[in-house]
Amino acid sequence: MNEKIKEVLERTPFEPELKEEILKSGRLKKAKAGQTVITPDDEAQEMPLVMSGLLRVMRNDDNGNEVFLYYLEGGETCAMSITCCLEGKRSSFHVVAEEDSELWMMPVSNLDNWITKYPSFRRFVFNSYQTRFDELLHTIDSMVFMKLDERLYNYLLDKKMASGSFEIKKTHQQIANELNTSRVVVSRLLKKLEKEEKIEQRRNYIEIL
Q: How far apart are CA 132 and CA 93, in angstroms?
A: 14
What's the angle, vertex CA 194, arms to CA 188 and CA 198, rounded to 5?
A: 125
Q: Nearest to residue 106, comparing CAs of 131, 86, 87, 126?
A: 86
Higher pLDDT, 74 or 15: 15
**pLDDT tens figures, 173-193:** 888 888 878 788 888 889 999
45, 90 Cβ separation under 8 angstroms: no
User: Which run of H or E residues covers position 187?
Assistant: helix 183-195
Across 88-108, average pLDDT: 83
Q: What pLDDT shows up at residue 88? A: 62
Say yes or no to pLDDT of 1 above 60.
no
- E-assigned strand segments in 93-173: 94-107, 167-168
51, 4 Cβ separation under 8 angstroms: yes
| Crossing angle of helices 16-25 and 2-10, rounded to 10° | 150
Q: How far apart are CA 26 and CA 104, in angstroms?
A: 6
Provide the CA 197 distance to its chain's centre, in angstroms: 28
Q: What is the band of 134 on the pLDDT scale with cuts at 50, 70, 90?
A: confident
3-state helix/strand/coil string of 14-43: CCHHHHHHHHHHCEEEEECCCCEEECCCCE
Q: pTM of this prediction? A: 0.71
Q: What is the band of 73 on the pLDDT scale with cuts at 50, 70, 90?
A: confident
Q: What pLDDT shows up at residue 119? A: 94
Q: What pLDDT shows up at residue 104? A: 92
Number of other CB atoms surrounding residue 115 within 10 Å:
17
Q: Nearest to residue 88, comparing CAs of 111, 61, 59, 113?
A: 111
Q: Nearest to residue 90, comparing CAs of 129, 132, 48, 45?
A: 45
Number of other CB atoms surrounding residue 3 within 10 Å:
6
State what percent of residues in the chain have pLDDT above 90: 17
